[in-house]
Structure formats: structure tokens, C-alpha cells
């Protein structure tokens, strides 16, 4: 939220667009109905205070050997009673 440059009331953002990756242009309108000033501002990144940690280079684990397919119980119950 910005303040109106004329009456110092709160001004709400109506729209915005990126001018570049680090600069955004915003259009504001004063909430004071007697003033209703519209103006635009530029918002930019001036300094990164804390950057996210970089991923460590962890060696990949060797792939697991292929497992044999298990067929036990696939064609019926192993506990079936034979009469």
C-alpha cells in the first residue's frame, strides 16, 4: 500500500506489470473519494539480504538391483484346502 502524494490517504493498487525481472510498475488509486488521485510507482529489488541455500552435491547412490518377480499367491490362495 502506498499513500497518496496529495492528501496522504491510503492508495490501493489497481494493476501492475513487470518491466523486467527485478522491476514492477504499479498503478494506484487514492481511497479518499474527494481526492481520487491515480498515480504509478516503480518497485525494484535493490539488495538480496538472505539468499536461499544452494543444494549440496550429494553423490547418487548406485541403483538397486532388479528384483525377481514374485508369483506366490498370484493364482489362488496358498491356504486352499484340497478335499
Banded pLDDT at 73 (limits 50, 70, 90): low
Q: Is the pLDDT of residue 76 over 70?
A: no
**Are the C-beta atoms of residues 37 and 16 closer than 8 Å to each other?**
no
Banded pLDDT at 74 (limits 50, 70, 90): low
Give the Cβ contact number of residue 27 at 10 Å.
14
pLDDT digits (tens, 9 = 90+) for 13-62: 999 999 999 999 999 999 999 999 999 999 999 999 999 998 887 777 77
What is the model's pTM? 0.59
Amino acid at each position: 500500500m502506498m499513500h497518496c502524494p496529495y492528501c496522504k490517504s491510503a492508495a490501493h493498487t489497481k494493476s501492475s506489470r513487470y518491466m523486467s525481472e527485478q522491476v514492477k510498475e504499479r498503478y494506484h488509486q487514492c481511497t479518499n473519494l474527494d481526492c481520487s488521485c491515480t498515480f504509478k510507482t516503480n518497485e525494484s529489488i535493490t539488495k538480496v539480504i538472505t539468499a536461499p541455500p544452494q543444494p549440496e552435491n550429494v553423490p547418487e547412490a548406485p541403483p538397486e538391483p532388479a528384483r525377481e518377480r514374485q508369483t506366490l499367491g498370484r493364482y489362488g490362495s496358498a491356504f486352499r484346502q484340497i478335499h
